[in-house]
Amino acid sequence: MTKSGRKRKTISKDEAKLKIDELRERLSRLNAAYYNDDAPLVSDFDYDALSLELRALEAEFPEFADETSPTVTIGGAVSDKFASVQHENPLQSLQDVFSVSEAAAFVGKVKASFAGIDVSFTAEPKIDGLSVSLIYENGVFRQGLTRGDGQTGEDVTHNILTIESVPKRLTPPKSSELPQRLTVRGEVYMPEAVFAELNEAREERGEKLLANPRNAAAGSLRQLDPEIARERRLSCCVFNIQSVTGADFASHSETLEYLRELGFEVIPYSILSSEDEILAELERLGESREMFPFGIDGAVVKVNSLALREKLGSTSKVPKWAVAYKYPPEEKETRLLDIEIQVGRTGVLTPKAILEPVRLAGTTVTAATLHNEDFIEERDIRIGDTVVVRKAGEIIPEVLRSIPEKRTGDETRFHFPHTCPICGGKVSRDSGAAYVCIGADCPAQAKRKLAHFASRDAMDIEGCGAAVAELLYDTGLVKTPAELYSLTVEDLAELPKFAQKSAENLVAAIERSKTRGLSRLLFALGIPQVGAQTGKILARAFGSVERLAAAEKEQLSSLRDIGGITAEMIYGWFSSDAGRTLIQKLRDAGVVMESLDTIAENGVFAGKTVVLTGALTRYTRKQATDIIESLGGRVSSSVSEKTSLVVAGEDAGSKLTKAQKLGVEVVSEDEFAAMLEYGAAE
């Protein structure tokens, strides 16, 4: 069954293996973005749908079981920026349920397991923050750890110390002495009011806005400088005792009251018995989510008795005595004030709804997508309408529908423009529902093409986001992607808000981008219909841009997942004067035009296993990993006798010590850079 309840069509074993591999790869990438980069690419709702699909396939085809699957592992990797510490007790995840019937089934199953026993449950809001473990000795705070992969976390004690709601010295309870040792689990979050205030101040200073409270909290807690965490005014709410010496409890609710006595901010909870009470509480919590100081993405139902929990036990990943009920995406009503047109990098005109500000999924929304003309007409959406909005995947705001019965008669219909609102060029409707600007020199397209070329999944030029790309274009420094490679520090240092260091960093990032390889270059070029996956297919099939440029349409369309329309687009792009000119200029700039698979066979790291440790200053961890892999190496997270090389940055810790004991070759970041230069020269 799928998440929607529909039966999934029967698939063969080979098809299942391909789909399982695809889902595992995608979920691993999403996990890395969520846990390690604090930058979720999709909503929890959409992530859960993918996870459920993978679970169903793994259950149907157990022969493809893998202990490294995202359905088995927990959380993200532990960053080398911090010391890694083994958790005394694993910080497990929770089993998700998505309907009241599933929540009721959990309650019914537990009650059936203990027939004749009056089983009670607790219901708590599920905070959308960063899970941590807090350790106390004789009432004094000693250490704070992130969840990490559930078994090992990052030592972020220096940042936890800045959180006022985390007691540094516990209050002695009335009925007993302070515990000799106590480990509690909680959730670090950024209060909604603080998030709004910080973003308002950042907007006034012209700084990039924080995406949402969860990302802001996670990013703040995983900083090396504790002053950043202090400025962000984080809070922490605890919800579980992981271990305690010198105190005994019969129920979960008793432990929460004990934690409250000790001085913690404790999760609000209700004790419930019947299925009806529990389901009513889930509904109440969902309707009351805006009353909490933190964002919530669900509610947690737990067995209250600790003895019954012990009998129910756990799997390797989740306890059997609790479930997390996930709320569907939030929808709100607001007024559509106007409709503006945005021009994308391919010239597509997209209507944007300008909205009366409304709080939605933890942020204030003032604009939303309307997709295209057909979408507006089919739903009879008019300027001045009361409309229903939600965040598609709780990330991108979108208008769902209008509410005609709330019209006053002053609403007006919207008509698509016949000329581009940016360059005044002609606009034509394509074979689908999109209107496209066909102006050859449209600035809006040029700016977005620059930003796309530099984006993470393309050439990954750190520091060249949309705002910088627009600045480079508007000042005349860069009009095409190839011109990025002629930028100098002196050019950039003269621009507003560009300090010497940021100019040096951007020039260095542009230089590093030359080695991204053919697949990412093809995606970066912005060829219509060529996404990241198509870029990989083309790179594997042709190996170099020369062979691809010489390919006939029939060769292209014969490749898997590339149809006639895509083949036509690729052929047309490489046959155009603009396409050929851009490729030549990029080649002249030294951009690699071959598949990394081809380069890797003879790369400087070919056949070697490399470990990165400590803080790198020239490269991000992802950039260094990509470079090593592009030159034939494999990056590992742990040091062993099979390790070929350790690259040690600043404040390298236990991995460096272990490498030295094992006699593994260790190089500094400068020596690593020299190896890259040597490899490039070879």
Query: pLDDT (tens digit, 9 = 90+) per residue, 449-491?
Result: 999 999 988 999 988 988 899 999 999 999 999 999 999 999 9
Average pLDDT over residues 625-638: 78
Backbone dihedral region for residue 504 (phi beyond 0: left; psi -120 to 50: alpha; all else: beta): alpha
Mean pLDDT throughout 309-316?
Answer: 91
Q: Which of 9-18, 111-120, 196-205, 263-272 has the lowest mean pLDDT?
A: 196-205
**What Å distances lie between residue 388 and 144, 331, 332, 360, 399, CA to CA?**
42, 7, 6, 11, 6
Interval 375-427: pLDDT, tens: 899 899 999 999 999 875 445 688 989 999 999 999 999 988 888 888 888 88
Q: Are strands 130-137 and 181-189 parallel, antiparallel or unpaired?
A: antiparallel
Tell me what pLDDT residue 195 has.
84
Weakest mean pLDDT among 105-114, 356-365, 539-548: 356-365
Q: Is the model's pLDDT at 74 over the cut of 50? A: no
| Residue 481, both tokens | 């992607």
pLDDT at 652: 78
Q: How far is CA 593 from CA 322, 412, 602, in A?
A: 52, 52, 16
The pLDDT of residue 47: 67
Instruction: Provide the token pair at 220.
Output: 């703040």
pLDDT bucket at 658, cuts 50 / 70 / 90:
confident
pLDDT of residue 5: 44
Instruction: Give the position of tokens 């009009």.
Output: 479
The predicted model scores a pTM of 0.54
The mean-pLDDT minimum among 347-361, 504-518, 588-602 falls in: 588-602
Looking at residue 422, its pLDDT comes to: 87
pLDDT at 414: 93
Query: Which residues have a catalytic role annotated?
Result: 126
Domains and CATH numbers, the chain: 13-64 (1.10.287.610), 86-326 (3.30.470.30), 331-416 (2.40.50.140), 443-596 (1.10.150.20), 601-681 (3.40.50.10190)
- Average pLDDT over the chain, rounded to whole? 85
Average pLDDT over residues 191-195: 84
Residue 677: which residues within 8 A CB-CB, separation 6 or more? none
Residues 6+ apart with CB under 8 A from 657: none
pLDDT band at 78 (very low <50, low <70, confident <90, very high): very low
Residues 6+ apart with CB under 8 A from 67: none
List Cα–Cα distances, 36 to 31, 103, 126, 315, 677, in angstroms.
8, 30, 21, 25, 29
Buried b (16+ CB within 10 A) or exposed e, 582-604: bbebbeebebbbbbbbebbeebb
**Are the C-beta atoms of residues 471 and 503 closer than 8 Å to each other?**
no
Q: What average pLDDT does the segment 73-95 reach?
A: 72
> In angstroms, rounded to a whole number, what is the distance separating the alpha carbons of residues 386 and 334?
6
Average pLDDT (22-31) is 74
With cut-offs at 50, 70 and 90, classify the pLDDT of residue 142. very high
Output the pLDDT for position 77.
47
Kind and range of the H or E run holding 296: strand 296-303
| pLDDT tens-digit series, residues 209-261 | 676 788 788 888 877 778 888 888 899 999 999 999 988 999 999 999 999 99
- Write out pLDDT tens, residues 156-171: 999 899 999 999 999 9
What number is the average pLDDT over the span 151-155?
A: 88
In angstroms, rounded to a whole number, what is the distance separating the alpha carbons of residues 633 and 152? 26
Residue 536 has pLDDT above 50, yes or no: yes
Question: What pLDDT is attached to residue 412?
Answer: 95
Question: What's the confidence (pLDDT) of residue 42?
Answer: 57
